[in-house]
Structure 1
């Protein structure tokens, strides 16, 4: 049985739904990086750039790949993972709450504004408030609004 409390972030997101916690993605990114280095794809891209100018941007691709790898969450939110200096985490701890769902002002909270544009934060917080932190996960909203 999954311990939903463990995967519930202070803001009401569910850690396992988040791209930075997608282990498969980061395994593939690391595998791709290793393979590209092994076959010296940078040299191949340099040669290909003579007939296909898009390969001139290979170094940008490598930069983006490296930035993507930096997104990986190595710990859950409640264990200090995700964003290192999270103002939401600080606020919840200051108020001695388990999460934002315990705050009467979460709907007007400016700290949550950025997340509201990307995630179903208000819905999730209402579900946690209504069903409890261990029983809300199957009622959560879309993690990302574009999915």
Structure 2
């Protein structure tokens, strides 16, 4: 796989929700359709008999916030957050990514990611061992909610 999909922090860009182009295409299509059919007026009318439609404006705000998550290209190609502290740190040290840093296990810059991505340290070790192009087929779940609890499936 393309090493540019290995982010500075050791995540696989193609696993991240912000890089899911299908999701953002659907959001754009939904938003256009809702505008075309003037759903805001319909929601106002429906709110007279269904109180949940009073939250339609909140739905639109959330939809817009989801849209703002979109990442157009991998961070190795100037995508992602421009002020990412991990990217800045790696750049200042002359590293291609955190996997090259001997202090990565104690790095507080990775702490927030560790709460969301339970295998990030294992992935960094793996990338350090096999390289940013060859670790993809060996990676584990990306987000913590994707991790299967083996106690629930003892046959695994």
The bucket for the TM-score relative to the shorter chain is over 0.9
User: Quick check: 1:118 aligned with 2:91?
Assistant: no
1:144 is matched with which residue?
143
Which secondary structure does the structure 2 equivalent of 1:146 belong to?
A: helix
Structure 2 equivalent of residue 54 of structure 1: 52
The normalised TM-score by structure 1 is 0.96
Aligned to 2:39: 41
The superposition leaves residues 61-81 of structure 1 with CA deviations (integer Å, 9 ceiling, x where unpaired) of: 000000000000012111221
Distance 2:73 2:49 in 1: 44
Runs of 5+ consecutive residues of structure 1 not aligned to the other structure? none
Shift of 1:32: 0.3
| 1:127 to 2:94 alignment | no
In 2, Cα distance between equivalents of 1:69 and 1:145: 22
Q: CA–CA distance in 2 between the matches of 1:83 and 1:142?
A: 22
| Gaps in structure 2 of 5+ consecutive residues | 147-156
Runs of 4+ in structure 1 displaced over 6 angstroms?
Answer: none
Of 97, 100, 124, which aligns to 2:98?
A: 100
- Rounded to whole Å, the distance in 1 between the matches of 2:126 and 2:96 is 15
Aligned residues: 145
3-state DSSP of counterpart to 2:116 = coil
